[in-house]
Structure 1
Amino acid sequence: MNDKPRTPDKTPAPDRDFQRRLAAKQRRRLHSQRQGEQTAWFGLGMFGLVGWSVAIPTVLCIALGLWLDRTVTGRYSWTLLLLGVGITLGCLNAWYWVGNERRAIERERRDPEEKDDAL
């Protein structure tokens, strides 16, 4: 254990306050620069994610519906029924992914220093 007494910080209070404000300003600047680089690509990526998360279940359900209409004779169209199911599943899937991204963005805005420390 160190028995040496701690010496108080000899920096005057106005200088410490200035250093704290300067460090906070620098953190905000770095954070905004990183955000500025990601916005265009992030938006396009999110657009693609939402589109594909709706399109894939819809197309798969339509294909299943077409197959069922050919193999099972019936009064109702399986293709139309499964089209609605595919769109519903796709929209729920997109809602899930957009919600996850929104929560991540909110978490990052709330605590930007934690993300910077993790890098």
Structure 2
Amino acid sequence: MSTANEEHKPEEFAEEIREKSLRKIRSQKEKRKGLWHGLGMFGLVGWSVATPTLLLLLLGIWIDGTYESKYSWTLMMLVIGICLGCMNAWYWIKRESEG
């Protein structure tokens, strides 16, 4: 003898499968990026800012140590490195969002 709950289980199961299939198809059409893609972009942005910042910072330290100047080349190169790094990160994010 079957109960009312047992009679609705196949329909509920079919509905659940249909919803999951539609969600998967919609995700493929929208080309949503996964977790790994997001983490990869996070790393790319971090390195695209950190690399020019550190390189120009080292250059500024070297200039300050080598030549006498009333200006702090370390500070100037740090600011320039951060600006270049942010422009670099903006370029990569814009490029990724377009394609």
Same structural fold, with TM-score higher than 0.5 when normalized by the shorter chain: yes
Q: Report the counterpart of residue 50 of structure 2 in structure 1.
A: 55
For normalisation by structure 2, the TM-score amounts to 0.70
Aligned-residue offset at 1:32: 1.7
Residue 90 in 1 paired to residue 77 in 2?
no
Find the aligned partners of 1:76 and 1:42 in 2 and give their Cα distance. 43
Return the match for 2:39 from 40, 44, 55. 44
- What's the counterpart of residue 11 of structure 2? none
The count of aligned residue pairs is: 78
Give yes or no for the alignment of 1:72 onto 2:34.
no
Show structure 1 runs of 5+ residues with no match.
1-25, 105-119
Shift of 1:33: 5.0
SS of residue paired to 2:34: helix
1:16-35 to 2 correspondences below 5 Å: 29-30=24-25, 32=27, 35=31
Following TM superposition, by how much is the alpha carbon of 1:39 offset from its aligned partner in structure 2, in angstroms?
1.3
Question: Normalised by the size of structure 1, how large is the TM-score?
Answer: 0.59
Cα distance in 2 for partners of 1:67, 1:40 equals 40
Give the percent of matched residue pairs that are identical in Structure 1 and Structure 2: 55
- Report the Cα distance in structure 2 between the residues aligned to 1:66 and 1:102, rounded to whole angstroms: 36
1:57-89 CA distance string (max 9 Å, x none): 000000000000011100011000000000000
- When the two chains are superposed, the root-mean-square deviation of aligned CA atoms in Å is 2.3
**Which has the bigger relative contact order, CA under 8 A and spacing at least 6?**
2
4+ aligned runs moved over 3 Å, structure 1: 28-31, 33-36
Give the corresponding residue for 2:5: none
**Which residue type is aligned with residue 48 of structure 2?**
S
